[in-house]
Amino acid sequence: MKSRWRKLLTLATLLVSNGASQPQDTSARGIINFLNYESDDRRGKPMLASCGITKADRIAAIALARSGQSVLPDIQNELDLVQKLERPESKVGTGWLLEVFARLEGPRAFPRLLKMANTPQMAYWIEALDDSIALSIGLTSYVSGSRPPDTLVSCVRASEPRRALNQLILAWERSDQDNLEASLGPHAMSRLRQLLQGKTWGDLRAKLWQAQLGERTAVGYHFEISHRWAEPEETLDETNEASIPFDHEKPEIPTRFTTSAGKDCGNHGLSFVKTPVDPTRRSKDEQSLPYLIDNSDVDSLLGLIASCAAR
């Protein structure tokens, strides 16, 4: 009992010391209600959409994760409830609870997260489920083919190469030629044009893609580097800033790919090129990719991703 009270005291101290709007009730249930906008201090207040990650929400999620295993029953009960709802999106804090669950349970969380990701009723939360799966099994990213393209806007990692690879994987899973080409640099695009000479996109797809029509696909990957870029989209650490210098113009990143079940399925060196700054764009244009994939062997890369998606 003393241990539980000590953890809750630590949680409350973290919330107060950060100075952001914080839950009045710092119990696990109180934090969950706060994240769901169901607490007395938040009920009826407007919620931010898209990348409206509030400092208060993130601090609350970090504090919940710091409180340790004692909060797991409350989180699991809440996830049970969400899965039974006709409109799971009504529980607006679900994304944060999935992250906390993944952080606390690690690989043990993976089976449940994967089952939820495979449940059509949870489609609204597929982005959060993908990110939580990556966190649970230590991947840089995990991309389900059922994700709509507009869920790839990164709220935390907007300036990192992962955005191009996420877009490439999803576009390949969805047979989306436009978005796939938009993720490629000049060398990769030149090679793709060669592959398409005298062929249609459908011909190329039929040659390289291996998954069955209508089959659920997902591909994960890990950047095999000692750098912040290798970490998941959200880690629930207090800082998300990169701390190790890296080649920011044309980074070469060895990458390990996994199947939907998290099993290793191959490695490939990725060549990225930094996107030139376009002065006509808004400085934080969320649709522009900061890096593009520039592999001259892009067909080999696409073949590997297709192989991973089919396993």
Q: Measured between alpha carbons, how far is 253 from 293 in angstroms, rounded to an integer? A: 11
**Confidence (pLDDT) at 215:** 80
**Confidence (pLDDT) at 51:** 56
Mean pLDDT of each 10-residue bin along the chain, 311 residues long: 41 44 81 90 64 75 94 97 95 96 98 96 96 98 93 79 96 96 97 97 93 86 94 85 66 97 98 77 60 97 97 86
**Confidence (pLDDT) at 277:** 60
**Confidence (pLDDT) at 84:** 95
Its pTM stands at 0.88
**Confidence (pLDDT) at 156:** 73
Matching residue, tokens 């010391």: 17
